[in-house]
Amino acid sequence: MVKDVVNGLPIFVSLERLKDLKLEYDEKHYFIIPLYSCEAGFSLHTMRSLPAHVPEINDLPKRGVFHFPNEHYEATLRVHMVNTVKDIAYGSGEKM
């Protein structure tokens, strides 16, 4: 992993390399955004990324890419997800 700063914004870059450089993915990007006014402490923004020639419904391999504001938010997201599942499993979760 490479870490750098651009205009004060921390940038983390994965050095993941593909065996087949021609392989394309249907990617969903998850942006974890700090939001201290909510109980979870963050907001989740998602964005889908497809190669230009690929239709929305496709057979490409799927891949999720998470973007965290710092190295601590991965654990924060995991704790939130586990607590949410526990709430749902034990019936104390809110109905949507």
> What's the domain count of the chain?
1
With beta carbons less than 8 A apart as the criterion, state whether 93 and 81 touch: no
- Does the pTM exceed 0.85? no
- Summarised one tens digit per residue, pLDDT across range 15-30 is 566 566 678 999 999 9
- Summarised one tens digit per residue, pLDDT across range 36-82 is 998 888 999 999 999 999 999 999 999 998 988 888 888 888 999 99
Residue 92 lies in a domain: no
| 3-state class (DSSP) for residue 88 | helix
Residue 23 lies in a domain: yes
Residue 90 lies in a domain: no
**pLDDT level of residue 91 (50, 70, 90 thresholds):** confident
Domain, as residue range, for 56:
2-70
88 pLDDT more than 70:
yes
The length of the chain in residues reads: 96
CA distances, 72 to each of 32, 69, 75, 78, 86 (Å)? 11, 8, 6, 10, 22
Residue 7 lies in a domain: yes
